[in-house]
Structure 1
Amino acid sequence: MPMIFHFFSLFFRTFKNFNQNIFIFLFFYATLSPKPVYVMNI
């Protein structure tokens, strides 16, 4: 789990747009999570 957060921190550092980072984080979270939790939050 810490490795994933470290990967996300390095991945976010390459982008300057904050909204784009949130979108990418939600996309990866939706793909890595066992259940599509993002569907409930829409």
Structure 2
Amino acid sequence: MKDQINILKLIGIIFTSLMLVILLDFALKAALEAWTNSL
């Protein structure tokens, strides 16, 4: 049972990291686009 909890925690951490990377990538692209348009 303890192993299952650890695996769930690991999946949660990986999922959170992926979401953060996707959000950062999206924010960077949007910022870059806005910056390029304002030039």
**Under TM normalisation by the shorter chain, which class is it?**
0.3 to 0.5
The alignment's TM-score, normalised by the length of structure 1, stands at: 0.41
Task: Determine which structure has more spread, i.e. the larger CA radius of gyration.
Answer: 2
The alignment's TM-score, normalised by the length of structure 2, stands at: 0.44
Higher RCO, Cα 8 Å, sep 6+ = 1
> Which has the larger share of helix?
2
